[in-house]
Chain A
Amino acid sequence: QQQVKQSPQSLIVQKGGISIINCAYENTAFDYFPWYQQFPGKGPALLIAIRPDVSEKKEGRFTISFNKSAKQFSLHIMDSQPGDSATYFCAASGTSNTGKLIFGQGTTLQVKP
Chain B
Amino acid sequence: DAGITQSPRHKVTETGTPVTLRCHQTENHRYMYWYRQDPGHGLRLIHYSYGVKDTDKGEVSDGYSVSRSKTEDFLLTLESATSSQTSVYFCAIRKNTEAFFGQGTRLTVV
Contacts and interface: CB of A to CB of B under 8 A. Distances in A.
A4 B40 CA distance: 12
B74 interface: no
Given A43-B90, A44-B90, A99 B42 contact: no
A106 B42 CA distance: 5
The SS class assigned to the B binding surface is: strand
Contacts of A98: 31, 48, 50, 56
B90 A46 contact: no
Contacts of B94: 99
A39 to B, nearest CB: 11
Contacts of B90: 43-44
Contacts of A94: none
Contacts of B100: 46
Interface residues of B, number: 25
Contact of B41 (A41, A42, A105): A105
A66 interface: no
Interface string A15-38: 000000000000000001010000
B99 interface: yes
Contacts of B40: 9, 105
B22 interface: no
B98 interface: yes
Interface stretch (B11-19, B63-71, B78-86, B101-109): B101-109
A41 to B, nearest CB: 8
A45 B97 CA distance: 14
Given A43-B90, A43-B104, A44-B90, A99 B99 contact: yes
A101 B50 CA distance: 14
Given A42-B104, A46-B99, A46-B100, 11 more contacts: A89-B42, A91-B43, A98-B50, A99-B48, A99-B94, A99-B97, A99-B99, A100-B58, A101-B43, A101-B99, A102-B59
